[in-house]
Structure 1
Amino acid sequence: MPQNSVRQVKKVLWLILAANLLVAVTKIFIGNSIQSTSMTADGYHSLTDGVSNVVGLIGIAFAAKPVDSDHPYGHKKFEFLTGLFIGGMLLVITTNIILEAIAKILEPVTPQFGADTIAALVATLVINVIVSVYEYRQGQRLNSYILIADSLHTRSDIYVSLGVLLTLLGIKLGAPPLLDPIASIIVAGFIAHAALEIIKSTSDILVDRAAVDLVLIESVTMTFSQVKDVHGIRSRGSESALFIDMHIEIDPLMSIEEAHELVHQIEEKLKEEINPTIQALIHTEPYKGLPGITK
């Protein structure tokens, strides 16, 4: 990742960290004041958003390191390791929310609050929405997986806050306190879903799952008349760093210089048609379908 992009990603993470800490402190303070277990838990959940920001800052610092002899493909996967950590942290949060919900089902507690509490919760909810949308868009613009993954983490916080808000309003209108833990369990389901999405997407990249449709790679490569056949196509990586390798069969009478130029043209075409970050390793072979060439 270019140093300019790294600086921009870090700047976004620092801004999001400040916003998450503000939201977390507000929720924890209000939750303790009104004796609302769900709001206090929501505050600690927001605090984990800040923790993930710190993890993201550490991860991007490693991911931005230049290529060296020990890491010839760069350090990009460190960023996805942090994304995997965020997904695991969400699963831990899900477990804690469910355990707290069970405790509240066994011993229901009725929170005491007023309109100011509702207003504060709505304000934190609005901040979370703005933070999530802003971080996701910046992640797409900067091709930063860590920002996109962290925005999904923040989005899960929105679900939690919305669930707490609806719960408090319901209790205010006369609903039984049991509504609180039930809503918490439903919210935990949303958080678990976000966690599994992050874990799956990061795992796919870490285990080098195919990153580009093989048919698309083949179709782009075969637009060159000099290419008689293509096989052994493989791809891996992410939108910000794609790697493709394949074998192409060409006229055995083509010179080394001509074959070299063809390979460069194919790579540039792949960048133009699929993704500008592509690095292609193309192995040339003599086409075995020509007369006089034994298979």
Structure 2
Amino acid sequence: MKTKKGIIATWASIFLNIALFAVKYWAGVVSNSVALLADAWHTLFDSVSSLAVLLGLKVSIIPADKKHPFGHGRAELIASLVVGILLAVVGFNFLSESVIKFRERAVFNYGPVAIWVTVASVVIKEIMARYSIIIGNKLNSNSLKADGWHHRSDAISSVVILAGIFIGGKLWWVDSVLGVFVSLMIFYTTYGIMKETISVLLGENIETDMRREIESIGHDINGNLFLDPHDFKIHHYGNHSELVFHIRLPGNYSLSKAHNIASEYEARVEEKYAIGVTIHVDAIDGLKTMNGNKAG
């Protein structure tokens, strides 16, 4: 059901973006405005990125198999990378176009068409942004949230263009400067998307609060023996995460006892965080309890 909501949100985004592109492109041609044309293509590439998100969502729900034992959730991260790369290409193209227009002192003609199209774009894109971000948060979907912020960047760039329209008649270079601004907005959005996605793909450490909570969870599993959880590694697979860490137990414990302690610890952490947990046991002598006495 949750994934279905994400797919519906993505299809709605695709169709609305295509419609907005057509109207904004027409306004850009009529006005001979590089800023409006850049904004139009930015919107069209929203549809391309939304298709990447849709593909990522569909692939991510494919069950785990022998070749992919942790499922296909990282397909969403790949989709987010595609979104970022496409944005970077659009930004570079229109940055170049804006510089050329500035050098040539190209003539533009903002009129009522440009104003109303830009106002409509701001309203529609902000609604789309809020919807995608809300659904993305509910589904814990990086690609949907990235798509939402992509919509918001488009709305913000349209707001700036709208402001420029009202002063454009007095300054010949306004359209070129607005085109550069839209390009920089695209680059900024690209940076945010790529930074978060690449960080997850490279692997992240667990938060300090999570580490402390896991230590606390294990305090009473084996009396008051401190299990010393350490060497944490967490791997994210879309909606599913796997946590691996080590604990220390006395070397004279039986294999069965050590297994039971680790299994109970795993179950408690899994219940708390809804993630998969694997614990490796290090055998060591001379462990101390929480009050300082040696474990027997």
With structure 2 as the length reference, what TM-score do the two structures score?
0.87
SS in structure 2 of the partner of residue 68 of structure 1: coil
Cα distance in 1 for partners of 2:240, 2:172 equals 50
Give the Cα separation in 2 of the matches to 1:139 and 1:270. Answer: 25
Alignment partner of 1:153 is 2:150: yes
Q: What is the rounded CA distance, in whole Å, between the counterparts of 1:229 and 1:182 in structure 2? A: 58
Match in the other structure for 1:80:
77
Q: What's the CA shift for 1:100?
A: 1.2
CA gap 1:90/1:251 in 2 versus in 1, 3 angstroms: same
Q: Shift of the alpha carbon at 1:21? A: 1.3
Per the TM alignment, residue 225 of structure 1 is displaced from its structure 2 partner at its CA by 4.7
* Deviation for aligned residue 1:147: 0.3
Spell out, residue by residue over 1:134-153, the C-alpha distance to the aligned partner (whole angstroms, 9 max, x if none): 10010001111110111122
RMSD across aligned positions (CA): 2.4
Q: Does 1:58 align with 2:58?
A: no
Counterparts of 1:252 and 1:207, CA distance in 2: 35
The alignment status of 1:187 with 2:182, answered yes or no, reads yes
Within 5 Å, which residues of 2 pair with 1:49-198?
A: 49-171=46-168, 174-198=169-193
- Pick closer, same or farther for the CA change 1:98–1:123 going to 2, 3 Å: same
Distance in 2 (CA, whole Å) between partners of 1:225 and 1:262 is: 7
Counterpart of 1:265?
Answer: 264
Deviations 1:172-207 (A, max 9, x none): xx4212012112223322221211111111111212
- The answer as to whether partners of 2:39 and 2:182 remain within 8 angstroms in 1 is no
Within-5 A mapping of 1:239-250: 240-250=239-249
Question: Does structure 1 conserve the Cα–Cα contact (< 8 Å) formed by 2:248 and 2:284?
Answer: yes
How many residue pairs get aligned? The number is 285
Aligned 8 A contact 2:206 2:232 in 1: no
CA distance in 2, matches of 1:29, 1:261: 69
Greater CA drift, 257-266 or 114-123: 257-266
Q: Which amino acid aligns with 1:71?
A: H
Residue identity opposite 1:28 in structure 2:
Y
Q: Does 1:21 align with 2:25?
A: no
Q: 1:216 to 1:290 in 2, by over 3 A?
A: closer
Indicate if the aligned counterparts of 2:70 and 2:237 stay in contact, CA closer than 8 A: no
Alignment of 1:199 with 2:198, yes or no, is no
Of the candidates 25, 40, 46, which is equivalent to residue 37 of structure 2? Answer: 40
Give me the whole-angstrom Cα distance separating, in 1, the residues matched to 2:216 and 2:104.
Answer: 64
Deviation larger for 228-237 or 98-107? 228-237
Contact 1:211–1:237 (8 Å) recurs in 2 = no
Q: How has the CA–CA distance of structure 1 residues 112 and 179 changed in structure 2, closer, same or farther, with 3 Å as cutoff?
A: closer
Pick one of 204, 219, 222 that aligns with 1:223. 219
User: What amino acid is aligned across from residue 101 of structure 1 in structure 2?
Assistant: S
8 A contact 2:73–2:239 mirrored in 1 = no
In the TM superposition, residue 272 of structure 1 has moved relative to its aligned partner by 4.8
Q: CA deviation at 1:70?
A: 0.6
The aligned residue for residue 233 of structure 1 is 232
Match of 2:70, SS state, is coil
Distance (whole Å) between structure 1 residues aligned to residue 212 and residue 235 of structure 2: 14
- Name the amino acid aligned to 1:189: L
Q: Could you tell me whether the CA contact under 8 Å between 1:228 and 1:287 is conserved in 2?
A: no
Identity of aligned residues (%): 25
Which structure 1 segments of 5+ residues have no match?
none
Instruction: Give structure 2 stretches of 5+ with no counterpart.
Output: 289-293
Q: 1:238 to 1:63 in 2, by over 3 A?
A: closer
CA distance in structure 2 between the aligned counterparts of 1:20 and 1:241, rounded to whole angstroms: 31
